[in-house]
Amino acid sequence: MKVKKMKTNQQEINSFFEKYIQSFDGNKDADYQYYANSFLQRGVPTKDNEMWRNFHFEQVVNHPYIVQKEPQTYQPVGQFFHCDINQLESHLFAFLNGWYVHNNAPITIFPSGVVIGSLLYAKKQYADILNACSSLSKQYKHSSMFDMASAICQDGFFVYIPDYVEFKQVVQLVNVVNSNSDLFINMKNVIVVGKNASLKLMHCDDTIEGGYTLINTATEIFLDEGASVDYYKLENKDERSVLINDATIYQGANTNVKTYTNVFNGGIVHNTLNSHLYGEYANIDLNGLYLVDKKQDVTNCLSVNHHVPNCKSQQLYNGIIDDEAKANFVGHIYVAQDAQKTESAQVNHNILLTDQATIDTKPFLEIYADDVKCSHGATVGQLDDDAIFYMRSRGICQRNAKKLLMHAFAKEIVDKISIAALVDYTEDLVQKRLSGQNISCNSCTMNCQKPIHFEVKMPEL
């Protein structure tokens, strides 16, 4: 992302964000006071924070972002967005420039008792549920950017799945930016899944048209005993965007979570996914795929916290980095002293296609229990010469041989997706991405004036 270079110290960075907190004129409730004070006390994360060591706040503050304090006049979602995932059966809910899009129906209540809609309105009607969630959330530490989003969120997404309800159709949250202004958008999403209930949630970030954007999103997913959640995070932004996503998952006993984070395009992307396994026999499976090129900068940070015995977690993130792109992976597994019989594995694989592409991968364990099975590992390399030679000896050209290897590398993650329509869609995006085709506007119904092209350059062996 091209920005004007300037020297910026930590105090100036903090001041840049503090002015948004101080100028916030929304509902200054108890949560605002709590999170605003927390941010003001700590400021933005510094280079001493391992999760934020490679994030360049000095680039972010070079733009005079504005906050859109009122939603735009209602227009049907189909007028500015359509989903390209063929045959996907989903309930689609859209946010435009940080505001929930609705026509005098900020909350939807399904016959099963499922509630979906605007967090802004849910705070009034479902205060008991949200207060209980807030009490649990405040027992754990969060990043200061999470605090900022929680304090001054314009709006957010609220989902409540009652006990014993299996919500079969996918709930699709689409966050769309369409503005000529440089926008700073803060959102807070709260997802609550009751006892023995289940949910498949797809969270998509897209851009139609816009200037420079800074999107800061805090997402919390609460699972009661026996609940299960599949959480899909799809990111296909433009090169002028800065995307900060901080998701935290709270797991009660006998819960099961699967997450999938796919990053195809973006300027600067910083994903943080935290899990707190506080109920016995909770399981989580975290998966990610990132395909980056040009001068993109993508970071994925995972923190899995085993607080009690007999829980399992596994992590598998694969990345392909081209041109002068940068990727960062930080994986943290924490096992408390009482969390005996923990099983946890963490793997990060990366392929570098040029000498200028870089990856900084830091998997690490913090274990205080003695009866555990934990492992971690990371690989960084180039395409396998022997495999390319083998395919070429059977009549496959060099370019296609490389594409086949990269596709197989990505498919390891794609095959773990449980939604058939999303598998087909993701495979198609991977094929296009590896072929150098433009995929950043797949969901756009408008003709952008400045199309963005992404190319994967194949290095000579």
Tell which wins on pLDDT, 275 or 453: 275
Question: What confidence score (pLDDT) does residue 459 get?
Answer: 36
Q: Pick from 251, 31, 257, 238: which is nearest to 122 by CA?
A: 31
- Letter for the amino acid at 318? N
SS3 content of the chain, % helix, strand, coil (to 5): 25, 40, 40
Q: Say how far residue 60 (Cα) sits from the centre of its chain.
A: 18
pLDDT digits (tens, 9 = 90+) for 260-276: 999 887 889 999 999 99
The whole-number pLDDT of residue 399 equals 64
Positive or negative torsion for Cα 443, 447, 450, 453: positive
Give me the domain span that covers residue 242.
10-383
Spatial contact of 283 and 310, defined as CB atoms under 8 Å apart: no
Q: Worst-scoring range by mean pLDDT, 99-108, 132-141, 274-283, 440-449?
A: 440-449
What does the pLDDT read at residue 443?
39
Q: Is the pLDDT of residue 2 over 60?
A: no
Q: Flag whether 344 is in a domain.
A: yes
Residue 406 in domain: no
- The long-range contacts involving 110-116, CB below 8 angstroms and separated by at least 24 positions, are 112/162, 112/165, 112/167, 113/162, 113/165, 114/159, 114/160, 114/161, 114/162, 114/165, 114/167, 115/158, 115/159, 115/160, 116/91, 116/157, 116/158, 116/159, 116/160, 116/171
Residue 254's pLDDT band, with cuts at 50, 70 and 90, is very high
The string of pLDDT tens digits covering residues 137-164 is 999 999 999 999 999 998 999 999 999 9
| Contacts with 393 (C-beta within 8 Å, 6 or more apart), sequence order | none
**Residue 225 domain flag:** yes
CA–CA separation, 411 and 405 (whole Å): 10
Over residues 204-215, the mean pLDDT reads 82
The pLDDT of residue 431 is: 79
Q: For residue 452, what pLDDT band results from cuts at 50, 70 and 90? A: very low
Does pLDDT of 1 surpass 60? no
Most confident of 22-36, 289-303, 406-420: 289-303
Q: Is the pLDDT of residue 302 over 60?
A: yes
Is 371:344 a contact under the CB 8 Å cutoff? no
| 437/33 Cα distance (integer angstroms) | 47
- As a whole number, mean pLDDT of residues 232-251 equals 91
> Which pLDDT score is estimated for 456?
34
pLDDT of residue 75: 82
Give, for 409, the enclosing helix (H) or strand (E): helix 398-414
Has residue 395 been placed in a domain?
no
CB-based contact 95:101 (threshold 8 Å) = yes
The identity of residue 150, as a single letter, is: S
CA distance 210 to 268: 16
Q: Is the pLDDT of residue 398 over 80?
A: no
Residue 419 lies in a domain: no
Pairing of strands 283-292, 256-265: parallel
Residue 155 pairs in a beta bridge with 187
Q: In the predicted model, is pLDDT for residue 124 greater than 70?
A: yes
DSSP 3-state of 35: helix
Where do the DSSP E strands lie in 68-169?
90-96, 99-100, 107-109, 115-118, 157-161
Is residue 48 within 8 Å of 292, Cβ to Cβ?
no
The band of 396, judged by pLDDT with boundaries at 50, 70 and 90, is: low
**pLDDT on residue 111:** 96
What average pLDDT is seen over the chain?
A: 86
Instruction: Give me the number of domains the chain comprises.
Output: 1
| Single-letter code of the amino acid located at 461 | L
Mean pLDDT across 327-351? 95
Residue 147 lies in a domain: yes
- In total, the chain counts a number of residues equal to 461
How far apart, in Å, are the Cα atoms of 134 and each of 111, 112, 234, 239, 384?
Answer: 27, 25, 26, 34, 49
Residues of the chain above pLDDT 70, percent: 86
Confidence of residue 407 (pLDDT cuts 50, 70, 90): confident
pLDDT tens for each residue of 37-79: 999 999 999 988 989 998 989 888 888 899 998 888 888 887 7
Minimum mean pLDDT among 276-280, 293-297, 453-457: which range?
453-457
3-state secondary structure of 301: strand
In this prediction the pTM is 0.90
Question: Which one has a higher pLDDT value, 203 or 438?
Answer: 203
CA distances from 182 to 124, 213, 236, 401 (A): 31, 5, 18, 42
Considering the chain, what percentage of its residues have pLDDT values greater than 90? Answer: 58
> What band does 409 get if pLDDT is binned at 50, 70 and 90?
confident
Which range has the worst mean pLDDT, 47-56, 196-205, 265-274, 381-390?
A: 381-390
**How far is CA 274 from each of CA 151, 220, 319, 375, rounded to the nearest angstrom?**
19, 9, 20, 18
Average pLDDT over residues 173-194: 93
| pLDDT, tens digit (0-9, with 9 covering 90-100), for 213-224 | 999 999 999 999
Cα–Cα distance, 146 to 219 (Å, whole number): 9
